[in-house]
Structure 1
Amino acid sequence: MKQPETERFSSPEELAQHLLVLDLLAREGNISQRALGIRVGLAPTRVNRLIRELVGEGRVEVEDSARPYSYRLTARGQVYRRRLSLEHDQSVVQSFRAIQAYIARRLQELRAEGPRRRVPFGAGRIMEVTLPLARGLDLEVVGIVDDDDARQGQRRGGLVGPALREKSGRCAATRSSLPPSGTRSTS
């Protein structure tokens, strides 16, 4: 039984780099290997080896009458690019689900520890996943602590600043715009 060609990638990053090269060649065929390497974050030797592999596999054609060389994806290369794109998308979704599962397990551990009211650290993208999971476990997020000045005072999952600064450090806390249920607001 023939194994899928994409199993040769040693990591999701390698798959993504390969896909980025194919995408750039499809959009901007007249690009130097040096510029390609800079845009994708690969060493020039790796770009050269990758281009030679793609040419050898019949996925890319090279027109060497121009400087820099002009690259064009063949029909086979276009099919390969679509297949890698699908695999990359599936990998991203799988990673997202793994992160969700990890966060859910961690929140269940916190719930078992006792207090239902929590103030997590970090108002970034992970908080977008954490807040709905916490609410589903009946954990009440009453504020968020974050040391990024750009996030201070922003609305995150219904939570807002103003930032409350401590004299001793850069850490700032945000508090809920609504008082917790069953309590009176002091503001």
Structure 2
Amino acid sequence: MIEPFIAKFLSPTKAFRRFSILLAIYHSAEISQQLIGKQTHLSSSMVNNYIKQLKEEGQISVIGTTNRNQRYHLTASGHHELIESLVMYSAEIIRLYSSAKNEFATLFDRFYKEGIRKVVLFGAAETAEVVYAAMRRSDIKVVGVVDSDKGKQGEKFENLIIQPPSSLRSFNPDAVIVTSFGQQEDICRAVENLVGDEIPIKRLSMIGSMEEAA
């Protein structure tokens, strides 16, 4: 289920709202307007307006007289719009992903000029996947990935195995890149306690900033 999220730079468009509602109905014909609103982050009145519009356009059919007993079904036209929207949405996400990788790759070129050749990523989340992909476009090699989450340790990350933070020194990296955006200060202190001043710590949120350059 694709759900919208609270974004600072990307605002949901009308097309995305329609897509979200159609997708919610596709997954469950018995879904209530209240639950649709919760899943799509839309108000009840806005969901109601979209439902009316989609019904009038022939994208959905509605059975029932009240919100409590109404059931929704995608028509052939509605299913076509859903698939078309999914393809367009996926294409836009891929373009954004590609742009992010290109920007990170450009920033990592500066690391190379600083003499950094081998790095360890701290944080095995989605951001780390983007960083790893960007690193493959640079001359810097990711030699390890560590995470404090014991549930992730031992799992595969690309061609690497996620290790506990205590293994940082064993990789003998030129730098540690903190790819997690949450609790960065705590993570940096933990890394400093493990490696001291011998290995530079690069916070992803500071890459390219004046503080990082200092």
Question: Structure 1 length normalisation: TM-score?
Answer: 0.67
* Greater alpha carbon shift after TM alignment, 79-88 vs 53-62: 53-62
User: Structure 2: where are the runs of 5+ without partners?
Assistant: 1-9, 168-185, 196-214
Go from structure 1 to structure 2 and tell me whether the alpha carbon gap of 1:62 and 1:150 turns closer, same or farther (over 3 Å shift): same
User: Structure 1: where are the runs of 5+ without partners?
Assistant: 1-9, 176-187
Q: Which amino acid aligns with 2:160?
A: G
* Greater alpha carbon shift after TM alignment, 82-91 vs 146-155: 146-155
Q: Which amino acid aligns with 2:48?
A: N
Distance in 2 (alpha carbons) for counterparts of 1:93 and 1:33: 31
Go from structure 1 to structure 2 and tell me whether the alpha carbon gap of 1:93 and 1:63 turns closer, same or farther (over 3 Å shift): same
| Pairwise CA distance, 1:123 | 2.4
Go from structure 1 to structure 2 and tell me whether the alpha carbon gap of 1:32 and 1:130 turns closer, same or farther (over 3 Å shift): closer
Q: Kindly indicate whether the alpha-carbon contact (under 8 Å) linking 1:155 and 1:161 is maintained by their aligned counterparts in 2.
A: no
Distance in 2 (alpha carbons) for counterparts of 1:53 and 1:108: 50
Distance in 2 (alpha carbons) for counterparts of 1:82 and 1:113: 47
Match of 2:132 in 1: 131
| Pairwise CA distance, 1:143 | 4.2
Go from structure 1 to structure 2 and tell me whether the alpha carbon gap of 1:117 and 1:82 turns closer, same or farther (over 3 Å shift): closer
Q: Which amino acid aligns with 1:58?
A: G
Q: How high is the sequence identity, in percent, across the aligned residues?
A: 26
| Pairwise CA distance, 1:147 | 4.9
Q: Kindly indicate whether the alpha-carbon contact (under 8 Å) linking 2:29 and 2:71 is maintained by their aligned counterparts in 1.
A: yes
Q: Kindly indicate whether the alpha-carbon contact (under 8 Å) linking 2:63 and 2:72 is maintained by their aligned counterparts in 1.
A: yes
Match of 1:140 in 2: 141
Q: Kindly indicate whether the alpha-carbon contact (under 8 Å) linking 1:111 and 1:139 is maintained by their aligned counterparts in 2.
A: yes
Distance in 2 (alpha carbons) for counterparts of 1:45 and 1:149: 44
Q: List per-residue Cα deviations over 1:24-52 (Å, max 9, x = no partner).
A: 32342233211222233322122112112
Match of 2:109 in 1: 108
Question: Structure 2 length normalisation: TM-score?
Answer: 0.60
Go from structure 1 to structure 2 and tell me whether the alpha carbon gap of 1:52 and 1:97 turns closer, same or farther (over 3 Å shift): same
Q: Larger Rg: 1 or 2?
A: 1
| Pairwise CA distance, 1:22 | 0.7
Match of 1:5 in 2: none
| Pairwise CA distance, 1:148 | 4.4
